[in-house]
Amino acid sequence: MRAVRYHDHGGPDVLTTEEIDDPTPDDEEVVVDVHAAGVNPVDTYFRDGGYEPFSLPMVPGTDFAGEVRETGSAVKGFASGDRVYGTGIGREHYGGYAERVAVPSDRLVTLPDSVDTTAAGAAGVAGVTAWRALVDHAALEPGETCLVHGGSGGVGHVAVQLAAAAGARVLTTASPDYHDRLAELGADAVLDYLRDDLADAVQEVASAGPGTDGVDVILDHRLDDYLQFDADVAATGARVVGIGESDPAVGLENDGVARSKDVSYQFMSMFNTPEFRVPLARLAQLMDAGDLTIDIAREYGLDEAGDAQRAVLEESFLGKLVLVPER
């Protein structure tokens, strides 16, 4: 089969398309013919060696969707021909940037007929991260106000929809080109993240509802930019979930603001999800019901994996980039 691999850590140029042996399943694995594999920032961190070491060569790709080809002897609940999607590979297991992949059976679920396989292939990291942040960590409730920084991103555009589906009032920030689409996806207010008066604007929208003095739940993917901002716009008892930063030196300039409001900070990694199948199944239900859409900004072939990984870090788009091995 054709697969993208890297034999050394480095830039996007270390990714090469190679002919390698088809995977065979261990007892607990499912082999999937990959139809689509989402391209995520984390794929680049594994490739460049920024995240913990693992054995090389490696096939990148945390996400995947496709059709079951073969199941291991101990696998229950999947049969050849089932449409499936999942996430959580590409680190210690070969990933989804390939024509076929062997996946531990606890990291995939079946797909309802109505759900597009390409969209599902890009749903895993973004969906499970947004779910873990808003549902499991922040326990977002109907009627609360939720701020999603960077709503046009992979995680952001799912988080906007999950917060709306939960009955929250949804504020998000994004570049102006994406404001209309984010309103369609359920955002009640969309603000340009470059506004000089962003904190005031967020406060104004957040405090407009009855009985609220700020934002109850914040999903923050750039903690170095927004950690203090989050405390400043937080309501009393707010929960901030941190998923990323562009500079690891993250700190509060004035922790008294956070203390005075009893703000909780939770940092998370999607890879710590205790049971991937739980959020994956819920996200599939939401996609089936039309309450969650994965916007695909661009598709790439396997030979274009380097371009895709460059673009996911450097270019602006709404939604997800995805590899389609058949292209």
Ligand X SMILES: NC(=O)c1ccc[n+]([C@@H]2O[C@H](COP(=O)([O-])OP(=O)(O)OC[C@H]3O[C@@H](n4cnc5c(N)ncnc54)[C@H](OP(=O)(O)O)[C@@H]3O)[C@@H](O)[C@H]2O)c1
Binding interface with ligand X (CB under 6 A) = 40-42, 125-126, 129, 149-150, 152-156, 173-175, 193, 221-222, 225, 243-244, 268-270, 312, 316
Estimate the crossing angle of helix 277-289 against helix 124-131, to 10 degrees. 100
Least Å from the CB of residue 141 to ligand X: 22
- Amino acid occupying residue 325: P
| Residues belonging to the chain | 327
- 28 vs 225, beta carbon nearer ligand X: 225
Kindly report each contact of residues 225-232 with a partner whose C-beta sits within 8 Å and lies 24 or more positions away, as own/partner: 226/149, 227/251, 227/252, 228/252, 228/253, 228/254, 228/257, 229/198, 229/199, 230/147, 230/263, 231/255, 231/257, 231/258, 231/261, 231/263, 232/199, 232/203, 232/257
Residue 126's Cα: distance from chain center in Å? 2
Least Å from the CB of residue 133 to ligand X: 8
- 270 vs 284, beta carbon nearer ligand X: 270
- 34 vs 312, beta carbon nearer ligand X: 312
CA 103, 319, 145, 257 dihedral sign is positive
- 50 vs 237, beta carbon nearer ligand X: 50
Least Å from the CB of residue 88 to ligand X: 11
- 108 vs 159, beta carbon nearer ligand X: 159
CB atoms closer than 10 angstroms to residue 87: 33
Q: Which helix (H) or strand (E) holds 280?
A: helix 277-289
Least Å from the CB of residue 125 to ligand X: 5
**What gap in Å lies between CA 104 and CA 26, rounded to an integer?**
8
**What gap in Å lies between CA 96 and CA 109, rounded to an integer?**
15
- 68 vs 233, beta carbon nearer ligand X: 233
Least Å from the CB of residue 227 to ligand X: 13
Least Å from the CB of residue 176 to ligand X: 9
**What gap in Å lies between CA 83 and CA 123, rounded to an integer?**
14
Chain residue at closest Cβ approach to ligand X: 153
Least Å from the CB of residue 9 to ligand X: 17
**What gap in Å lies between CA 85 and CA 70, rounded to an integer?**
15
- 155 vs 294, beta carbon nearer ligand X: 155
- 68 vs 185, beta carbon nearer ligand X: 185
Estimate the crossing angle of helix 305-314 against helix 41-48, to 10 degrees. 110
**What gap in Å lies between CA 244 and CA 230, rounded to an integer?**
14
**Among candidate residues 210, 209, 228, 211, the one with its CA nearest the CA of residue 220:** 228
Least Å from the CB of residue 207 to ligand X: 21
